[in-house]
Structure 1
Amino acid sequence: MLQFIGLAWVMGIACVGIRTSFFPFDTLNALPRVLVFIFILCIGLQVYVQQRLPSVYWKLLNGVLASLLCFILGWLYADSQLQQRMQWRELQRDTAEVIVYVRQLNQLKDNSVSQPVEVLNRHPQTVTWLATLAQNSVLPDLELSRYYKFSGTVYPAHSYATAGVFDVEQWYLQQNIMGNFRVTHVQPISAEQIYSMGLSKHWRAQHTLRAKFRLWIEQQRYQIRAFIQQQSLQHKGLLLALLTGDKSLLSSEIEDQFQRFGISHLLAISGPHVLIFAAMLCWGLDRLIRGYRPHYYLWMPRQYLLLLPFLSCVGLYTAFVGFETPALRTLLMCSVITIMLLLKQKISSFALLIYSAALLLYLDPLSVLSAAFWLSYGACFILLRIYQSLRHQPKRVYLSRWQQFWQGFKILVESQWKIFIALLPLVIVFFKQVSWIAPLSNIVAIPFIGLLIVPLDILAGLSFFLFEPLSAVLFQLNDNLLALLLLIFRGIDALFAPQLSSIAMSAAVYICLCIGLLLLFLPQSVLPKTWAALCFVPLILIDPQRQKFELVVLDVGQGQAVFLRSGSYSMMIDVGGYYDESKFSVGQQIIRPFLSVQGVSTLDHVMLTHLDQDHSGAFAYLKNEINIHKVSANQAVNVAENTQFEFCYQGQQWDLPHQVRVQVISPKPSQLQYAAQQQNEYACVLHIHVPNAQPYQDFLLMADTGWATEYQILQDYPDLNVDVLILGHHGSKHSSAYDFLAHFRPKLAVASAGFDNRYGHPSPIVEQRLVDLNIPFMHTAQHGSLRFYLDAPQRMLIQPYRQQKLWLQR
C-alpha cells in the first residue's frame, strides 16, 4: 500500500500548475477545504463503516482514501513551491543596475556567453538571472567567486503560448532562473564594497562549508574545460560533454547528428555515467583491500564494506555534474538500496522507483516539469522489468565467452527496442518527433560509449588532478575512439540517411497508444498481452467528420497564423514567420508542433493573406514538411509539386463540413495586379460563418489591411455580421478605424501581436477606441493562443492557452 501512496504523491506533484476545466480552482485556496472534507470523511467512515465492511474491502477503502489524501498533499506542496518561485520572476523589460555574485560555470555559445549570476539587490532574497555577454565585446571575463556591478537591460522569459510548443517560461522556472539580463557594462566589486552596501549577510553565506564545496566543484569543472580547450583534440566538445555534461565546446553539427540518430540522451550525464565512475573507484578500492588488507573482509562482508564508498562516489559525481535530474535520481536510488541493505529489508523494483521519485520530488518538486525526469524513470522501469525477467530464467552452470557475448548482445537489443517503444509516448509529448533509427544507433553507441569512451574519459579526468601529462595522453586516445565512432555514424548516415520524423497524433490516438503499451509491458500474470489489440478498436470507430468546429488564433509572436478545422477539413490562414527563419523557424518550432498535437498530418488548404514575412515566412518550411492540397494567396507562390495554387479574390467561397462557410470579401479581382506594390492593403480578407453558434458565429479576419480596405468593406458588405474581429495589422493605429468598429460592433476583438514588439502593437489608440465602444479585447501576447470551439449545444467557447498553466497566466 505504501507504494501506491508514494505513486499518488508523485502524480499529485505532476499536476503542478495545471488550470483546466477539470481543475479550474486555485489550489492554495480550494484544495485545503477539500483536504479537510476528506479527513472528516475518513473519520466518519472509521466510526460508521468499519464494522459493516469485510476487512479486505475496508483495507482497500483505507488505501484509496490515503492515496487521495497524499495526491492532494503532493499537489498542494508543488503548487506552493511554484507560487513561491514565481513571485520573484521578472515580467517586464526594464533597465537595471544590479550587484551580482558569480557562483556557476558559464556556457559558451557561438557569439555570446551565458552566465548564471546571483542577483543580490533586486528582491528581498537572492535570485538567479541568466546574463548574456557578447564574446567579442570589451567587457571583462567574469571569474568564479567574484562580485560585480552589472548595468544593462533585464528581459522576462516569455513563451510562445501555443499547444505543443516548447515552454520557455516553464523551463526557466524549473531551472530556478528568474530573468534574462543583457549586460552593457561590468564593474568588479570588492568585499569591502559589499560590506558598505549592506550585503555582508550574503558574503558570510558564501563562506559556509556547503557554499565553499559547491564553489570548489565549479572551479574543478572550469579547470577541466580549460585544460581540454588547450589540447590539440578534434572532438573537444564531445569529450567535455561526456565527462561533465558541459556542452560549451560542442558544435551544432554534432548535436544535430546525435539528435537525428536518436542518441542525444548520451550527451547528458545520466545514471550509467555516475555508476561507471563509482564502479571504477570501488573496483580500485577492492583491489587495494585484497592486496594489502584482506583481513578487512573477515571483519565485514565485501558488499557492506564497499557500500558506503560506492554511495560516496555516486554523491561526489552527482555534485560534480551539478545535480542534474538523471544523476540525482541515481543517487537517490542508490541511497534507498543502501538503507534497505543495511536494514536487511527486501525491496522490489517498482518500490525502488516510487520511493526514489517521491524523495526527488520532495527535494525539488518542479523537476517534474522536465523531460529528463520522466524519460529517465521510464527507461529505468523498462530496464528493471528486463532484469526481473532475467532473474526468473533458469541459470546455466557454464557459459563460454561466445555464449556470454551473445547473451549480452541479445539483452542489449531487447532493452533498446523495449525502451524505444515504451518511451515513445513520452518522446511524442516532449519532442513531437521521433528518430526511427534510434534503436539501431543505441545498439552501436551504448557499448562503444559506455564500455570504452566514458570509462576512459573518467580516467582521463581523474588523471588531470594527479598527473596532467597522463591526462593529455588519455584524452588523445579517447579522441581517436570518438573519431572511430563518428566514422561508424557516417557509414550509417550514408546507408540510411536518418532524419527526425514529426508525429501527428490526436488525443484519442495518443490515449489508445498509451493504454496499449501499458498492457504490453504489464507482467504476464496481470493481463494477457493480446488484450493490447483492444486499444486499437476505438481508432476504427472514430469518425473524423464528427469533429466539431474550432478556430485557433496562434501565438506566433509578432505575426499571424490561424488554424481552422471543421469535421475532417483542416485549414491554415497565414502561418507566421520570424524575421530570420534560419535563426528561429516559426514553421519548425511552432506551427509543426501545434499541428502534431492536433493530429493533423495533411492540410486541405493554406491561405496566405499576403506575402509579408510575419504572415507567410514559415511557409517555405511547411510546404516541404507537410502535405498541402491547395494554397491561395494574393500573389504567386512557389508550392510543392502535388499542391494546387490559386489566387484569392472577392467572391470566392468554400463550404466546409457542418455547414461552415469561408468567404473572401477582399481584394477585388481587378486589384490583384497591384498586390505586389500594396501587399497590406490588398491582402485577402476572410469571413467565416458558423451557423447556429452562440454567442460567436461570424469571424472577420482583416489580415494587414488598413482604413482603405475597411472603407471598401463598409461599402460592399454593409450588412455583414461580425461577432469576432481579428484586428487588421496586429492592432496598428492605421487600421481598425472608429467608424469601422462602430458600424460592425463586434462582440470581441482579437489582436495577434508579439510580446514587447518594437512596433508597439496593439496600439494604445486602437485599444482606447475599443474601450470607448465597449468592445471586449484580447491579444495573443497576453492570453497566448486563443481557441474558439463548439461545445454542446452549439455554444462557442473561448479557451486562452495562458489560462491553462499557472506560470503562463498574466
Structure 2
Amino acid sequence: MCGEEENNIKRPLFWIAVCFALGEAYAVAAGHSVIVSGLMIMAALVLSVCTDRAGTAMSFFRDPIYRRLLTGNIFLLVTLLGFMNIRSVDRQGQLADEIMEIDRCRVVCSVYDVRNANKGYQVYVKTESMDNQRIGTKLILYMDNVDDIKMGQQIAVYGRMERPDIASNPGEFDARSYYAYKGIYMICRDAVITERGSGYSTIRQFLYSFRLKAGETLDRYLAVRDASVMRAMLLGEKSGIDRDTKRLFQLNGIAHILAISGVHIAIIGMTLFKLLRRISGSNVMPGIVSVCVIVLYGMMTGLASSTCRAVIMMTVVVAAKIKGRSPDMMTSAGIACVIQAVADPYIVMDAGFQLSFAAVLGIAVVDPMLEKIVGHGGRLSALRINVSVTLTTTPLVVYYFYQFPLYSVVLNMVVVPFVSVLIFCSMAAIFFGMMPGVWGFASVTAQFLAMPVRYILAAYRALCELMCKLPEYSVNVGHVSVEMVAVYYVTLVVVLWLLCRIRQKNIERPTVRRAAVLAVFFAVTCVTYEYMAYDRNFRVVYMDVGQGDGILIRSGKGVNILIDGGSSDNSQVGEYVIVPVLRYYGAAHIDYAFVTHADSDHISGLKYILQTENTGIIIENIVLPLYGMQDDFEELKEAAVNAGVNILYMKKGDAMEVSAGGVDKLLGRDMAKISLSFLYPGPETGINDINELSAVIRLDYQSHRMLFTGDLGEAGERYLLDEHADVRADVLKVGHHGSRYSSCVDFLNAVSPEFAVISAGADNRYGHPHAETLDRLEAHGAGVKSTIECGAVSVKIDRGGLKLEQYR
C-alpha cells in the first residue's frame, strides 16, 4: 500500500518475499546442498546490488559498500528464515509415519470444513490430541454421514490412520504431496464419532449452511453440467465438476476460470467498496465492510492458495485507499506471499500458488516492459496483458501439466471478459433464488438471471470444441526439468530488459547495437540449451496400473507405441494413470497400440481413451492378434471404429520397424531401428484359453532385446519352445503378472533374461507374483523389478548398456 513517494521501500519488500519463498523451496528441494547454498548467497548479493542501484536500499548509509552488504545480509537472513520455516514442519511428516504403526487411533479435534467426496464426505479437522498425546495438526476424516456435524464443533473419533497415497507413476497425481502442501499429512478412514461437544462456531456454520443452500439454488436453476461448473467457480466445490467440461477447458488453457482468484475477489470486494463509498462518501467504513465480506467469502470457499492470495492483495489495496495512497501490486503480492508461506510453509511448492503469483508478476513486471517495447494503446492493452500472463505462466503450465494450449491467448481474450458476467448473474440468481417462496417474482427473476449463464457456458464449450479442431491445438511437450524452467525465466527477463534498452531514445547507437546482439545471442543460447536438455531418449516404461498391464515404448523420433493398457483393480486407470503417463513422456500421439488379448486388465484403459472425448490422446492404429479369440475383441473394435482408429492385424512371423531417433542423427550417432517381431499366436496352436493365446512380441533395438508376453502361461510357453521361436531377450515382461503357472524353467532358460519386470497390483486376490515364480527367476539370476514395490519401471539404453529405473 505504498505510493510512488515511498518507492524507497516497495521493491525491497517484494524481493524480501521472493527470498523467503526461495528459502522454503531450497529447504524442500535441495536440503543442505553446498552448490545451492552458494547460489542462494549469490542471488542475495545480486539483489542487494540491484536494489541499491535503484536507489531503494538503506539510503541512510552513504557508502554503497555498507548499503549493499547490509541489504545482502537482510536478504540472506530472510532466506534463512524461509528455510527454517519449512524445517519447523518436517516433524509432522515424521510424526505421521510413527502414527501409521497404530492400527486404530482416538483423535480429539475440531471441524473447520466439510466437502463432498466420491463416496461420502471429507471432514477437515484440526487435531488437539491423538491417543491422549497433544498433537496439533490438520487431518481429513472420511465419513458416510455428516448431518449432525457443525463447523467449529469439537469431536472425538476412532478411525484407521493412513498416509495419503503417493504417486507410483510419472505424471500421476501425488496425493501425499498435494495434501502436504496444505499442511495435511494424515487421513482417517472409517471414522466413527464417539463424542461431540455442544459448542460450535456460529460464523463458520452460517457460511457452511449458506454454501450448501447456494449450491442447491444453482442446481435448481441450471442444468447439472452448468451447475457443477458454477459451483466450482463460485463456491470452490471442484469434486463434482463435469469431467468433460473440465478436460475441455484444460486442453484449451481456460481451466483457470474454474479457480476462485483475483477476478472473483475484485468483482465482489471492489464492487461493494465502490458502491458503499458512493453512498457514504468515506473510504473507512466501506473498506472495512468490503474486506470483511471478502474474508468471509474466502473462508466459505475453502481459502485455496489463489483465493488466499487474492484476498490478501485485495485487503492491501483497500488499506492503501483508506490511507489515501496508491497501491503497488508487487508489494501486495510480496505481503501475500510471506503471509501464506508462514501459515502453510509447503504452499510455495503448490502449483496453484506458483501459477497465481506468476500471473501477478506477468501483469506487474512483464506487461510494463512489453508496453515500453511495443508502445501503449487501448486496443492492444488487453492482448498485451494476455501475452504477459502467458509468458510468465507457460513454463509452469508445461512443468506441471506437460502440455501447452497453442491458442490460449486468443481464447482467453474472448473468455475472460465474460467471467464477470457469469459471476454477477450467478450470484444474483442465488440471491433471488434463496428468497422465501412467497416472493413470486423471485423465482422468475432467478430463472431469467440464469439464462446468460447457460448461454455463456455453452459458448465457452463451443469455442473450445472449435479450437480442438484446429491443428496442434494442444502441444504435448512432456516433462521438463526445473533447470529448463529457470533458464526460460532468465532468458525472458534478460531479453525483455535488453529490448527495453533498445527502445530508449536517449541511448547511443553503439549501445543499441550491443544490446541487440546480446539479446539475440542470449536467446539463441538459451533456446539451444532447452532443445539439448529435452529428454528424447529411447525408453520403455512399464506402468504401475495395479493388477494389469500397460507398457509404453517411446522412440527418440516421436514414434510412440503402447502394449496393452488396463487394470482389474483400478476402474479409472485410463484417466488417472495411462493418460498422465503418456502426457509426461510427450506421447499424446500413439502410433500403434498393440493388444495381447481381450481381458479387461489389458484393455480397460485403452477403451477409456477410445470412448472418451477431449482426453488429448490420439491413437492412430490398434494392432490385434489375427489368430486370437476375436469374439472377445468386439467391444474394443467397435470403440476403435467409432473413434476413427485403424484396426490392424498381425500373426506369427510378422514384423515392423520404426526409426529410433532424429536427435541421434543430428548428433552423428548411429540411427538404429526399433524392430517389433510378432512371435505368437499362429493359425494352429490347438489352444483355446484366452490367456494362453496372448500375443508375444519381441522388441529389438541396437544390440538389446525385450520380450512382452501378456498373460502367457506354461502351455503357450511350451508351444513357443516346440516351434523353436527365438525368444532370447535381455528384459522379460513376466507373463500373467508372475502367476505360479507362468515362466517355467525351460522357458526362462530359452529367454535367458538379465532383468525381469512383473506388473501386478498390491494385495491382489490372486497372490501375484507367486513365490515359486520369484524363486525360479532368482535361481536363474534375473534381476526382478515388480511394480508393487517399485512403481513404474522404465528401461533405457545408455551408452550401449541397459539401465533400469524405478519411480519410487
Residue of structure 1 equivalent to 2:401: 431
Q: CA deviation at 1:329?
A: 0.8
Matches within 5 A, 1:584-623: 584=572, 586=574, 588-620=575-607, 622=609
Equivalent residue in structure 1 for 2:305, among 300, 303, 325: 325
Deviates more, 1:330-339 or 1:363-372: 330-339
Q: Please state if 1:678 is matched with 2:689.
A: yes
Q: CA deviation at 1:103?
A: 1.6
SS of residue in 2 equivalent to 1:497? helix
Q: CA RMSD in A?
A: 5.3
Change (3 A) 1:565 1:364: same
Q: Please state if 1:763 is matched with 2:751.
A: no
Identity of aligned residues (%): 20
Change (3 A) 1:723 1:578: closer
CA deviations 1:196-245 (Å, max 9, x no partner) are xxxxxxx9xx87xxx77655644554465567678899865566544432
Amino acid at match of 1:626: I
SS of residue in 2 equivalent to 1:423? helix
Amino acid at match of 1:679: I
Amino acid at match of 2:309: R
Change (3 A) 1:70 1:118: closer
Deviates more, 1:262-271 or 1:514-523: 514-523
Residue of structure 2 equivalent to 1:283: 274
Equivalent residue in structure 2 for 1:490, among 445, 458, 480: 458
CA deviations 1:571-610 (Å, max 9, x no partner) are 42424124599x6251x54334433333335445433222
Residue of structure 1 equivalent to 2:7: none
Q: CA deviation at 1:74?
A: 4.2
Matches within 5 A, 1:175-194: 175-178=182-185, 183=190, 189-191=195-197
Matches within 5 A, 1:144-543: 144-145=150-151, 157-178=164-185, 183=190, 189-191=195-197, 214=204, 217-222=207-212, 224-225=214-215, 237=228, 240-247=231-238, 262-287=253-278, 289-290=280-281, 310-334=290-314, 349-385=329-365, 388=368, 407=378, 411-420=381-390, 422-433=392-403, 438-439=408-409, 442-450=412-420, 452-455=421-424, 477=445, 479-491=447-459, 493=461, 497-498=465-466, 501-506=473-478, 524-525=499-500, 531=519
Q: CA deviation at 1:784?
A: 2.0
Residue of structure 1 equivalent to 2:735: 728
Change (3 A) 1:94 1:216: same
Deviates more, 1:475-484 or 1:604-613: 475-484
Change (3 A) 1:66 1:473: farther
Q: Please state if 1:84 is matched with 2:92.
A: yes
**2 CA distance for matches of 1:38 and 1:248?**
39
**2 CA distance for matches of 1:541 and 1:447?**
35
Q: CA deviation at 1:351?
A: 4.9
**1 CA distance for matches of 2:535 and 2:418?**
51
Residue of structure 2 equivalent to 1:294: none
Amino acid at match of 1:619: L
Equivalent residue in structure 2 for 1:790, among 797, 805, 808: 797
**1 CA distance for matches of 2:477 and 2:657?**
26
Aligned pairs, how many?
Answer: 727
**2 CA distance for matches of 1:2 and 1:34?**
23
Equivalent residue in structure 2 for 1:646, among 646, 649, 666: 649
- Please say if residues 545 and 568 of structure 1, whose CA atoms lie closer than 8 Å, have aligned partners that are also in contact: no
**2 CA distance for matches of 1:521 and 1:551?**
40
- Please say if residues 575 and 617 of structure 1, whose CA atoms lie closer than 8 Å, have aligned partners that are also in contact: no
Amino acid at match of 1:701: F
Residue of structure 2 equivalent to 1:103: 111
- Please say if residues 460 and 471 of structure 1, whose CA atoms lie closer than 8 Å, have aligned partners that are also in contact: no
Amino acid at match of 1:273: H
Q: Please state if 1:550 is matched with 2:539.
A: yes
CA deviations 1:610-645 (Å, max 9, x no partner) are 232222333345569425367353546745767472
Residue of structure 1 equivalent to 2:559: 570
Change (3 A) 1:123 1:157: farther
Q: CA deviation at 1:704?
A: 1.3
Matches within 5 A, 1:2-21: 3-4=14-15, 6-14=17-25, 18=29
Q: CA deviation at 1:324?
A: 1.6
Residue of structure 2 equivalent to 1:806: none
**1 CA distance for matches of 2:84 and 2:752?**
44
**2 CA distance for matches of 1:541 and 1:32?**
25
Q: CA deviation at 1:81?
A: 3.1
**2 CA distance for matches of 1:472 and 1:498?**
41
Amino acid at match of 2:394: L
Q: CA deviation at 1:35?
A: 6.0
Amino acid at match of 2:649: E
SS of residue in 2 equivalent to 1:525? helix
CA deviations 1:271-304 (Å, max 9, x no partner) are 23223333244335434543xxxxxxxxxxx567
SS of residue in 1 equivalent to 2:454? helix
**2 CA distance for matches of 1:542 and 1:387?**
27
SS of residue in 2 equivalent to 1:273? helix
Deviates more, 1:479-488 or 1:543-552: 543-552
- Please say if residues 706 and 731 of structure 2, whose CA atoms lie closer than 8 Å, have aligned partners that are also in contact: yes
Change (3 A) 1:288 1:461: farther
Q: Please state if 1:800 is matched with 2:789.
A: no
- Please say if residues 402 and 586 of structure 2, whose CA atoms lie closer than 8 Å, have aligned partners that are also in contact: no
Q: Please state if 1:667 is matched with 2:680.
A: yes
- Please say if residues 560 and 587 of structure 2, whose CA atoms lie closer than 8 Å, have aligned partners that are also in contact: no
Deviates more, 1:107-116 or 1:730-739: 107-116
Matches within 5 A, 1:36-75: 74=82
CA deviations 1:434-479 (Å, max 9, x no partner) are 66665565445544442x45356657878999x8679997786455
Change (3 A) 1:348 1:592: same
Change (3 A) 1:112 1:552: same
Change (3 A) 1:440 1:617: same
- Please say if residues 575 and 591 of structure 1, whose CA atoms lie closer than 8 Å, have aligned partners that are also in contact: no
**2 CA distance for matches of 1:413 and 1:33?**
41
**1 CA distance for matches of 2:480 and 2:223?**
50
Amino acid at match of 1:796: L
Q: TM-score, normalised by structure 1?
A: 0.72
Change (3 A) 1:471 1:437: farther
Q: TM-score, normalised by structure 2?
A: 0.72
Change (3 A) 1:175 1:35: closer
Deviates more, 1:712-721 or 1:609-618: 712-721
Amino acid at match of 2:603: S
Q: CA deviation at 1:16?
A: 6.3
